[in-house]
Amino acid sequence: MEDKPLGILRVHVKRGINLAIRDATTSDPYVVITLANQKLKTRVINNNCNPVWNEQLTLSIKDVNDPIRLTVFDKDRFSGDDKMGDAEIDFRPFLEAHQMELDFQKLPNGCAIKRIRPGRTNCLAEESSITWSNGKIKQDMILRLKNVECGEVEIMLEWTDGPGCKGLGREGSKKTPWMPTKRLD
């Protein structure tokens, strides 16, 4: 019973912005997302420091305290791939939005539920909005890559209570085991 995930987090990796040059004049970037023992990656986009991936990577969430790490690499043919920066995806505000005591079905499409500002505790490059869109809660964010001279990655988060998942326990309960005891913002 304890092995069941809470739910499924879809990470839509949209694009890279001004990524670092790791070859002579450009890079061949791809994104790797890791969570606990899960490791997923996008396809390589050759010769492009502003790649558009538009790929959806799906993570099974068992513990919301496990960090989700996004790392960008430059694919090299004859040597090890070069790291082009990394960021941690803070998805707790996104999960907290799911716990709000709102009748989401009454909200207009595109309504902002919560806004998160960039700060020292997250990798946001600009303010991120959690919105109600087409019957789902979504969060668009642009992550500023760390440990590199430049680069950002645009992603979108979407939660799904998959079959056999525990869910977040929103119905009938204001508090769930994963919720923090104090506000994070």
User: Which residue has better confidence, 7 or 16?
Assistant: 16
Domain boundaries, the chain: 7-160
CA-based torsion, 29, 17, 70, 120: positive or negative: positive
Tokens of 157: 């988060």
Contact (CB, 8 A) for 20 and 27: yes
pLDDT greater than 60 at residue 173: no
Q: Would you state the pLDDT for residue 169?
A: 63
pLDDT greater than 60 at residue 142: yes
Chain centroid to CA 136 = 16
Q: Would you state the pLDDT for residue 172?
A: 37
Q: What homologous superfamily is domain 7-160 in, according to CATH?
A: C2 domain (2.60.40.150)
Contact (CB, 8 A) for 156 and 12: yes
Q: What is the pLDDT of residues 57-98, one digit of tens each?
A: 999 999 888 999 999 999 998 888 999 999 999 999 998 888
User: Which residue has better confidence, 180 or 33?
Assistant: 33
pLDDT greater than 80 at residue 31: yes
User: Which residue has better confidence, 117 or 167?
Assistant: 117
Query: What's the predicted TM-score (pTM) here?
Result: 0.87
Tokens of 2: 């304890």
172 CB burial (10 A radius; 0-12, 13-18, 19+): exposed
Tokens of 169: 């326990």
